[in-house]
Chain A
């Protein structure tokens, strides 16, 4: 399928998210769409897949101009998109989720659909349980389900928006093999949206680079990465440096903690985190990292064991009580449980900055919002609704909203979907907090990030947790072995 985007413009309020973008997608090729956060990649792909209507410009599919009013229409034309945050139906079962949107008559032929699902998953080499509930799957598994669903619907142009951010290295390698086969053997067009250069280099045949809503370059792969970097950022990357931690007393202590979620049981976790220390939780996606963090934050009741902060038990205290005590949690789903879509930056700032007064002072809230915007380099205005911000700017805002002087900061995928510059920025902000003596525990699907940012690393696998390892003594290679060791 040959698709041309012609002079696409998409305006949100005063923001030109896409500014006169024209590009062509040929069948049988894998295209990389590169750009830093807020460059307009997701917006352009949502326009292409019918989720958003362009302000102007048109989409030509196989020579015919088309109006893509809905995703359903786009899918009928053969254009399907896998979103950064999978748009599925968490309360439903995998099979039901698969069946929705499947063309058919009134009667739901479950046995036939089940077979179709299993066949398609089998072709792709994905392990799918039709009876599992979607909300119990990891992001990676939900992505696989979406790919299976889209391909079963006959999609010829597959768009993947930052698909590698929430998944393990093995899942990623498998995904890349599948995508290459789909494009080069089956003739599909694949658009791979990413800010990770090495992934685009290893996977794609051609790359388009966006910056500030405009198409600033295109290159056949392989090409010099330095050139791509320059196109993406317009300037060389800032170096990321870090000082050795100044470790204080034990702040957070977990003793024999067992947590259970729908699928996994993580037993007898013991480790401690000192003030001014960063501990990374490594392991395959869905090994209990989130559950552990949520237990520490008071959002999940552990089955057994004790969690203390500064010697005081925090189990059963409840999330809000812990937040007041200086224990904060930043979840992965920014717009699902981090920020409130529909409210502006200033409203968020006013929401969290309670000064005891029941009255709202909008002038002060706006001034405070302006300060946060400046201090956290957020690309937006106090009146900008948070859903109009890019992922990186949303994360900056989420960081800006955290109270100062925290004892413990728990982060789930703090840089998921963020470009190099934004990630570096986020970590600079986090390391500032470390300097203040905050104990930081985070999880990431990116092993490099865990290696680079942690002072100590706890490996989770097969329902158990390792003792913390000093980050200096661990390399990416032997982290893999560690995961295997814990397994035994």
Chain B
């Protein structure tokens, strides 16, 4: 029992240790003291309330996207288009923010709803292509990401450019009525936090407690069998993609209305792709999503400090995450292998062990 538990902990820690070691080698290769760099990342993430708030602000869209992706991954749909869905969410929210003027209490929810609808519709394009023409969502998602990014760039530098003149950097900053109010002195907003928790809870309930979640799991394992057992696979494809797009759209809205208070090219900041890594690392267990997402958010936010303090490129954070995911997938695959091989070798050398209690199954009495 305790030995098995230790073994479990060790296997879980292995990828983290390996990723850190690999990162240290990289740091030493560029002549930087690795431990100091890691210390700076930690400080950058947790040294003050403001920093923790920054981490949390980054965590919000990451958790939203990852929650959505978990729905599609469970259904066997590899929704690479999450980046585009985030961008479309941001675009729809921006459209309301720039062109509608209502009291904040109505305006902000309206923007978020628009983002949810925009993201969902964009995701449904991929679902429709899958159903109508059997286009794999990985390919359509890649194309739709490209379209969404270019649409953002065009909007920012064209129709929605600031009145003072051509800027490819952003639309005008939204009015106070149109942005998510932040906590005084911090870049974090209670609204954003609430939306993230709400989105995560919705995904949790959908997967754990509803028939729809079970249907998604069934089709994730076998579309053909699920169809025969009565699951309307095409409808669930649309719904799963739409739900993911909706959460992705909400994530995009958080970026536009909270982080930047404007629309920018590359509004998603790669968070959609990062969310793919979060979901891969979670092995589709929703419990892990908030923790993994927070860990990633801390590394990304914390490594920005490297640039300021140590004149190192802040992409180290991204490198660490990539290594972590690769090592986690690697150890996950190796674990199963080692366990069976160990058992075989043990039994090949030692004398045969007498079987433990046999399965107490009832007699097959018709």
Give the interface of A toward B (CB within 8 A). Answer: 6-7, 9, 14-16, 19-20, 53-58, 65, 67, 69, 238, 319-320, 323, 329, 331, 335-343, 347-348, 350-352, 354, 357-360, 377, 379-380, 401, 421, 425, 428
Asked whether, in the complex, the Cβ of B348 is within 8 Å of the Cβ of A337, the reply is no
Asked whether, in the complex, the Cβ of B347 is within 8 Å of the Cβ of A57, the reply is yes
CB of B3 within 8 Å of the partner chain: no
In the complex, A119 Cα to B24 Cα: how many Å? 59
Which residue of B214, B221, B359, B364 contacts A360 across the interface (Cβ within 8 Å)?
A: B214
Complex A-B, nearest 4 residue pairs according to Cβ-Cβ distance, in ascending order:
A56-B347, A342-B221, A53-B340, A337-B224
Which residue of B210, B228, B231, B366 contacts A425 across the interface (Cβ within 8 Å)?
A: B366
With contact pairs A338-B225, A339-B225, A425-B366 given, residues A56 and B214 touching in the complex (Cβ less than 8 Å) = no
Q: Which A residue's beta carbon lies closest to that of B365?
A: A377
Residues of A within 8 A of B221 (CB): 340-343
Asked whether, in the complex, the Cβ of B346 is within 8 Å of the Cβ of A56, the reply is yes
Q: How far is the CB of A74 from chain B (nearest CB, A)?
A: 14
In the complex, A319 Cα to B233 Cα: how many Å? 12
With contact pairs A351-B214, A359-B209, A428-B366 given, residues A55 and B343 touching in the complex (Cβ less than 8 Å) = yes
Residues of A within 8 A of B344 (CB): 53-58, 67
Asked whether, in the complex, the Cβ of B211 is within 8 Å of the Cβ of A338, the reply is no
Asked whether, in the complex, the Cβ of B355 is within 8 Å of the Cβ of A377, the reply is no
CB of B311 within 8 Å of the partner chain: no
Q: Which A residue's beta carbon lies closest to that of B348?
A: A58
Residues of B within 8 A of A380 (CB): 361
CB of B222 within 8 Å of the partner chain: yes
CB of B204 within 8 Å of the partner chain: no
How many residues of chain B have a CB within 8 Å of chain A?
Answer: 40
Residues of B within 8 A of A428 (CB): 366
In the complex, A69 Cα to B334 Cα: how many Å? 13
Residues of A within 8 A of B218 (CB): 340, 343, 347, 351
CB of B227 within 8 Å of the partner chain: yes
Main secondary structure of the interface of A (DSSP, over half): mixed
- 5 residue pairs bridging A and B, Cβ less than 8 Å apart: A16-B355, A53-B344, A57-B344, A58-B348, A337-B222
Which residue of B217, B346, B358 contacts A19 across the interface (Cβ within 8 Å)?
A: B358
Give the interface of B toward A (CB within 8 A). Answer: 208-215, 217-218, 220-222, 224-232, 340-341, 343-348, 352-353, 355, 358-359, 361-362, 364-366
Which residue of A19, A342, A352 contacts B355 across the interface (Cβ within 8 Å)?
A: A19
In the complex, A348 Cα to B211 Cα: how many Å? 11
Asked whether, in the complex, the Cβ of B355 is within 8 Å of the Cβ of A20, the reply is yes
Which residue of A20, A337, A379 contacts B364 across the interface (Cβ within 8 Å)?
A: A379
With contact pairs A320-B232, A340-B226, A352-B229 given, residues A238 and B366 touching in the complex (Cβ less than 8 Å) = yes
Asked whether, in the complex, the Cβ of B214 is within 8 Å of the Cβ of A377, the reply is no
With contact pairs A19-B358, A55-B343, A359-B209 given, residues A350 and B225 touching in the complex (Cβ less than 8 Å) = no
Residues of B within 8 A of A14 (CB): 359
In the complex, A358 Cα to B210 Cα: how many Å? 6
In the complex, A19 Cα to B359 Cα: how many Å? 11
In the complex, A30 Cα to B345 Cα: how many Å? 30
Known contacts A16-B358, A56-B353, A379-B364; 19 additional CB pairs below 8 A are A7-B352, A9-B347, A15-B359, A15-B361, A19-B355, A53-B341, A56-B346, A56-B347, A57-B344, A67-B344, A320-B230, A335-B225, A339-B229, A347-B214, A351-B214, A357-B211, A359-B210, A377-B366, A379-B361
